[in-house]
Amino acid sequence: MKNTFLGFVFLSVVWLSSCGGSASPEKKPGSSVTTMTEQADTSVEGQPVNNITAVSGESDGVIQLTNAIFLEKVYDYKKDPKKWVFKGDKPCIIDFYADWCRPCKMVAPIMEEFSGKYKGQVVIYRVNVDQERELAQFFGIQSIPTVFFCPSTGEPQMTQGALPKETYEKIVTEVLLKKKK
């Protein structure tokens, strides 16, 4: 009985840290970050996330990203799907989420905070995988939340599952802003 209970607790913890997911991409040793080359809601706990916009230009807050805006502002995977060519002038974070995903709702306020903290340095985007299925499929999103970190130069990296704010912060400073702590 005790083993059954412990098994249930373990499975609950795994389920709560990530929605979906079957096969996940290879991760760098000792890291929760995966590079792109290693893999071919607007509410949180009932509170609205205030600064999510659905415009294609630069703005305050988190920008809701559609496939068309992604092709224009981030990467035109239709032009050359095998070679990453970042189109932005600032590094960006792309949060792949779904409205029904509880761990995604835990990541949303972190991204909202980062949109203010790194304003003018990093652009924060969100992609609803239920609405932008082609984009999610192209990148092989099988587990949400999945967060992409796209530096101005070099390959993007990604994380899966709801990670602590400190982990995201470290990736922003060391990968996107190239500052070693």
pLDDT for 21-32, tens place per residue? 433 333 333 334
Q: pLDDT per residue over 105-163, tens digit each? A: 999 999 999 999 999 999 999 999 999 999 999 989 999 999 999 999 889 999 999 99
CA distance 154 to 166: 23
Give a yes or no: residue 158 inside a domain: yes
Mean pLDDT taken over the chain: 75
CA distance 160 to 172: 15
What is the domain count for the chain? 1
Q: What's the Cα-to-Cα distance from 41 to each of 34, 64, 81, 84, rounded to whole Å?
A: 25, 10, 29, 28
Which of these is catalytic: 19, 92, 104, 150? 104
Q: How far is CA 136 from the centre of its chain?
A: 11
Q: What share of the chain is helix, strand, coil (3-state, %, to 5)?
A: 35, 20, 45
Give a yes or no: residue 181 inside a domain: no
| Residue 172 structural domain | 2-176
Which of these is catalytic: 19, 92, 101, 150? 101
CA distance 3 to 20: 25
Predicted structure pTM score: 0.70
Give a yes or no: residue 163 inside a domain: yes
Examine the residue annotation and report whether 104 is marked as an active-site residue of this protein: yes
Identify the three-state secondary structure at position 146. strand
Q: What is the per-residue DSSP string for 87-141? A: --SS-EEEEEE-TT-HHHHHHHHHHHHHHHHTTTT-EEEEEETTT-HHHHHHTT-
Give a yes or no: residue 44 inside a domain: yes
CB distance 91 to 151 below 8 Å: yes
Examine the residue annotation and report whether 150 is marked as an active-site residue of this protein: no
The CATH number linked to 63 is 3.40.30.10
Q: How many CA atoms lie within 13 A of 168 on its CB side?
A: 28
